[in-house]
C-alpha cells in the first residue's frame, strides 16, 4: 500500500487527549500553587520574648518563643525556658536595693545563652512585680522605687530590648492569668466556653472568670476583644490573701485572742493548723512585719509556735480572716467585695497546685478532700519529716495550714460547693507552658492577640494533606488514561498501515 495514501492520525490532535492534557497541566499548577501558599515560609524563623515575674516569694525568668510568621495565631507562643532566681523576691531587698538587680544576673546570662545572638537586639524584656512590691510601696514608696530602679538598671545592661520594669495592678495580674490559660487551651477562637483562672501567690490571690450575672462593681470588670470575640470578665485580686500573708493574718489573730484570754503576754501559740509535736520559736515582729495587719506590741519578743494538728479547729481559725458580714452588693465573696456566682471550669495554679498536688488532693471530691486533709493534719510532725526528708521544712510544716486555707478560700470565700468542686482543675502547666500572668502580659504588650481574627492558612493541615493526596491520585489516573489511549491509537494506526 502506498504510505502517502494512508493518513496516520496523530493521537495528540484528538480533542479528548487535548482536554486530558489541559486538565493535567492545570492540576499541576493548582497543586504547586497550594503547596507554595500552604508552606510559606519553608524555613521557620523563631522570635523570642522575656518576662520576669517578680513575685513576693521569688522571681522567675520566662523565655517564650514563637514562629515569626504565625505570631497572631492562638496557641503559637510556647515557653522555651524558665530560670528561678536564687533567693527571695525583689521586695525583700528594701534595705539593699542593689542586691535586687544583682540577683537577676545568673538567669539573665542564661537567657543570653538560650536565645540566638542575632535575635538579642529585637527580643523584648519586661519585668512585672506583683503583691510583694505592692505591699512594699504601701509601707515605703522610696524603697520600692529604689528596688525598681535597681532591677531596671540591671536589665538594661543586657543586649535585649528593655521594655520596662513596673508593679502591675491586681486587675492586670488576674486578667493576664486568664488570657494565658485560655490562649494555651486554644479557647479564644472557638465558640466553646472559657476557663476561669485562680492564682494563689505568696502575698495575693486572684479570681477571674466570665460570669453569667451582671458585674455590679466597676473595679471588678474588664472587657477584651480578642480574635473577633468580646469577653466581659469579672476579676478581683485580694492583697494580703496569698498563702504567706494569710498565715501571718491567721497567726496574728491567734496571738491577739491568746493575749485577750490570758491577759498576759503569750509565750506559747497553740496552733491547730500545725502538726502535733511541731514546736518552733518565732519572733513577734516576724508575724507583724507586714502592712496587712495592725502591729501588736508585746513585751515578749519571742513565742513558741506549738502544733495541735486539728483540721476542723484550724478551719475555724482561718474563717476569722474572712469578713463575710458587710456586703454592699447583691452578693459578695468576702471583705465587702462583689462577686457573681462562680461559673464554668476553672484552672487553679501557683500555690493552689503546689499544695494540692503535694497532698495528692487534685482529683478527689470535696468530702474526701476534707477527710484526707484532716488525717494529714493530725499526723505527728516527726512522722511527716521522716516521710519527706527532701522537702524544705518551711514548706513541709505549712502544707496543713495552706491546704486548709485553700479549702476555706474556695468554699467560704469564693462559694464553690461540693457540686462544682469538680470544675476546679489544679494545674501547673498547659502543654509546655506554665499557667500564670506572664504569657498573657507579653502577648498583650507585643500586640500578639489581635482584636479581629487574623487570616489563617488556606485550609487546615489535615485537609491540605488529603487534598494533595486525592489530587495526585486523580492526576495519576489521568496520566494512565492518556498513556493507554495513546498506545491504543498508535497500535490502531500501525494496524491501518499494515
Ligand atoms: O504572686 P505573689 O503573691 O507576688 O507571690 P509569688 O508569685 O512569689 O508566689 P508563687 O506563686 O511563686 O508561690 C506561691 C506560694 O507558694 C509557695 N511555694 C512555691 N513552691 C512551693 C512548693 O513546691 N511547695 C509549697 N509551696 C510552694 C511560695 O513560697 C509562695 O508562698
Ligand atoms: Ca505570682
CB of 65 closer than 6 A to ligand 1? no
Cis peptide before 230 (omega within 30 of 0): no
Residue 411 has pLDDT above 90, yes or no: yes
> Which residue has cell 475555724?
316
Atom of ligand 1 nearest to the CA of 53: 7
- 332 C-alpha to ligand 2 centroid (Å): 24
pLDDT digits (tens, 9 = 90+) for 350-370: 999 999 999 999 999 999 999
pLDDT value of position 39: 62
Q: What separation in angstroms does the CA of 31 have from each of 20, 23, 240?
A: 16, 12, 61
The answer to whether the CB of 412 falls within 8 A of the CB of 36 is no
pTM of the model: 0.86
- Architecture in CATH of 240-427: 2-Layer Sandwich (3.30)
Q: Name the residue with the closest Cα to ligand 1, atom 17.
A: 351
CB atoms under 10 Å from CB of 110, counted, come to 15
Q: Where are the alpha helices (DSSP H) in 78-140?
A: 97-102, 105-114, 131-139
Q: Name the residue with the closest Cα to ligand 1, atom 9.
A: 201
What's the angle, vertex CA 205, arms to CA 337 and CA 294, rounded to 5? 70
pLDDT value of position 159: 98
Residue 8 has pLDDT above 60, yes or no: no
- In this structure, which ligand is nearest to the CA of 393? 1
> What is the mean pLDDT of the segment spanning 409-438?
98
Rounded percentage of the chain residues whose pLDDT exceeds 70? 91
Residue 462 has pLDDT above 70, yes or no: no
- In this structure, which ligand is nearest to the CA of 392? 1
Atom of ligand 1 nearest to the CA of 89: 8
Lowest mean pLDDT among 13-17, 226-230, 306-310, 437-441: 13-17
pLDDT value of position 7: 53
pLDDT value of position 1: 40
pLDDT value of position 11: 63
Residue 417 has pLDDT above 90, yes or no: yes
The winner for highest mean pLDDT among 14-28, 183-197, 431-445 is 431-445
Identify which of 53, 54, 56, 57 to mutate to test ligand 1's pocket (most ligand atoms within 8 A of the CB). Answer: 57
Q: Name the residue with the closest Cα to ligand 1, atom 21.
A: 354
Q: Which residues pair with 65 in a beta bridge?
A: 48, 78
Atom of ligand 1 nearest to the CA of 58: 8
173 annotated active-site: yes
pLDDT digits (tens, 9 = 90+) for 284-296: 999 999 999 998 7
CA dist., res. 361 & res. 364, Å (int): 6
User: Please, what is the angle between helix 141-156 and helix 105-114, to 10°?
Assistant: 30
Write out the residues surrounding ion ligand 2, Cβ under 5 A: 55, 201
The answer to whether the CB of 197 falls within 8 A of the CB of 206 is yes
Confidence of residue 190 (pLDDT cuts 50, 70, 90): confident
> What is the mean pLDDT of the segment spanning 132-147?
98
Confidence of residue 391 (pLDDT cuts 50, 70, 90): very high
The answer to whether the CB of 131 falls within 8 A of the CB of 144 is no
Residue 426 has pLDDT above 70, yes or no: yes
- 63 C-alpha to ligand 2 centroid (Å): 17
Q: Name the residue with the closest Cα to ligand 1, atom 2.
A: 201
pLDDT value of position 5: 44
pLDDT value of position 470: 82
> What is the mean pLDDT of the segment spanning 234-249?
98
Strand order in the sheet with 46-54: 78-84, 59-67, 46-54, 124-129, 161-167
Q: Which residues are annotated as a binding site for ATP?
A: 202-206
Output the average pLDDT for the chain.
91
Residue 333 has pLDDT above 90, yes or no: yes
CB of 438 closer than 6 A to ligand 1? no
Quick check: helix, strand or coil at residue 315?
helix
> Of the residues 65, 172, 173, 398, which is catalytic?
173
- 451 C-alpha to ligand 2 centroid (Å): 27
Residue 37 has pLDDT above 80, yes or no: no
Rounded percentage of the chain residues whose pLDDT exceeds 90? 75
Identify which of 202, 401, 434 to mutate to test ligand 1's pocket (most ligand atoms within 8 A of the CB). Answer: 202
pLDDT digits (tens, 9 = 90+) for 471-483: 778 878 888 887 7
- 352 C-alpha to ligand 2 centroid (Å): 11
Confidence of residue 4 (pLDDT cuts 50, 70, 90): very low
Residue 179 has pLDDT above 70, yes or no: yes
Q: Which CATH number fits domain 46-239+428-445: 3.40.1410.10, 3.20.20.80, 2.40.30.20, 3.30.420.40?
A: 3.30.420.40
CB of 201 closer than 6 A to ligand 1? yes
Identify which of 52, 54, 56, 82 to mutate to test ligand 1's pocket (most ligand atoms within 8 A of the CB). Answer: 56
CB of 243 closer than 6 A to ligand 1? yes
Residue 375 has pLDDT above 80, yes or no: yes
Lowest mean pLDDT among 374-378, 437-441, 494-498: 494-498
CA dist., res. 495 & res. 493, Å (int): 5
Confidence of residue 460 (pLDDT cuts 50, 70, 90): low
Q: Which residues are annotated as a binding site?
A: 202-206
Amino acid at each position: 500500500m502506498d504510505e502517502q495514501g494512508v493518513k496516520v492520525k496523530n493521537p495528540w490532535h484528538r480533542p479528548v487527549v487535548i482536554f486530558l492534557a489541559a486538565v493535567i497541566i492545570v492540576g499541576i499548577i493548582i497543586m504547586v500553587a497550594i503547596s507554595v501558599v500552604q508552606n510559606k515560609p519553608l524555613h521557620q524563623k523563631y522570635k523570642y520574648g522575656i518576662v520576669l515575674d517578680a513575685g513576693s516569694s521569688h522571681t522567675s525568668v520566662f523565655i517564650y518563643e514563637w514562629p515569626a510568621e504565625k505570631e497572631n495565631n492562638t496557641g503559637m507562643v510556647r515557653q522555651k525556658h524558665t530560670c528561678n532566681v536564687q533567693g527571695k523576691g525583689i521586695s525583700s531587698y528594701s534595705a539593699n536595693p542593689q542586691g535586687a538587680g544583682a540577683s537577676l544576673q545568673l538567669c539573665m546570662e542564661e537567657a543570653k545563652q538560650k536565645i540566638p545572638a542575632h535575635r538579642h537586639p529585637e527580643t523584648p524584656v519586661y519585668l512585672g512585680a506583683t503583691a510583694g512590691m505592692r505591699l512594699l510601696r504601701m509601707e515605703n514608696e522610696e524603697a520600692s522605687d529604689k528596688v525598681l530602679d535597681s532591677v531596671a538598671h540591671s536589665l538594661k545592661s543586657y543586649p535585649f530590648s528593655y521594655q520596662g520594669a513596673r508593679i502591675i495592678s491586681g486587675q492586670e495580674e488576674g486578667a493576664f492569668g486568664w488570657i494565658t490559660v485560655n490562649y494555651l487551651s486554644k479557647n479564644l477562637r472557638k465558640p466553646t466556653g472559657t476557663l476561669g483562672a485562680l492564682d494563689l501567690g505568696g502575698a495575693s490571690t486572684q479570681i477571674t472568670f466570665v460570669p453569667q450575672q451582671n458585674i455590679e462593681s466597676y473595679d471588678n470588670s474588664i472587657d477584651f476583644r480578642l480574635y473577633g470575640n468580646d469577653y466581659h470578665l469579672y476579676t478581683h485580686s485580694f492583697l494580703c490573701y496569698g498563702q504567706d500573708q494569710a498565715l501571718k493574718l491567721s497567726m496574728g489573730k491567734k496571738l491577739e485572742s491568746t493575749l485577750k484570754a490570758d491577759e498576759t503576754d503569750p509565750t506559747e501559740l497553740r496552733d491547730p493548723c500545725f502538726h502535733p509535736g511541731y514546736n518552733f520559736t518565732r519572733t513577734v515582729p516576724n508575724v507583724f512585719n507586714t502592712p496587712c495587719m495592725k502591729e501588736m506590741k508585746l513585751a515578749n519578743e519571742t513565742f513558741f509556735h506549738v502544733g495541735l494538728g486539728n483540721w476542723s479547729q484550724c478551719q475555724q481559725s482561718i474563717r476569722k480572716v474572712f469578713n463575710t458580714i458587710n456586703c454592699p452588693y447583691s452578693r459578695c465573696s468576702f471583705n465587702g467585695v462583689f462577686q457573681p456566682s462562680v461559673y464554668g471550669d476553672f484552672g487553679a495554679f501557683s500555690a493552689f497546685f503546689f499544695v494540692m498536688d503535694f497532698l495528692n488532693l487534685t482529683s478527689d471530691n470535696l468530702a474526701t478532700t476534707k477527710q484526707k486533709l484532716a488525717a494529714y493534719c493530725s499526723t505527728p510532725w516527726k512522722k511527716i519529716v521522716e516521710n519527706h526528708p527532701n522537702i524544705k521544712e518551711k514548706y513541709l510544716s505549712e502544707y496543713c495550714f495552706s491546704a486548709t486555707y485553700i479549702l476555706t478560700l474556695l468554699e467560704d470565700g469564693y462559694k464553690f460547693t461540693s457540686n462544682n468542686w469538680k470544675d476546679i482543675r489544679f494545674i501547673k502547666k498547659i502543654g509546655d507552658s506554665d499557667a500564670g500572668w506572664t504569657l498573657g502580659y507579653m502577648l498583650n504588650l507585643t500586640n500578639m492577640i489581635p482584636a479581629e481574627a487574623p487570616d489563617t492558612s488556606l485550609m487546615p493541615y489535615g485537609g491540605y494533606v488529603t487534598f494533595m493526596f486525592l489530587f495526585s491520585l486523580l492526576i495519576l489516573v489521568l496520566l494512565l488514561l492518556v498513556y493507554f489511549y495513546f498506545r491504543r491509537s498508535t497500535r490502531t494506526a500501525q494496524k491501518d498501515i499494515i
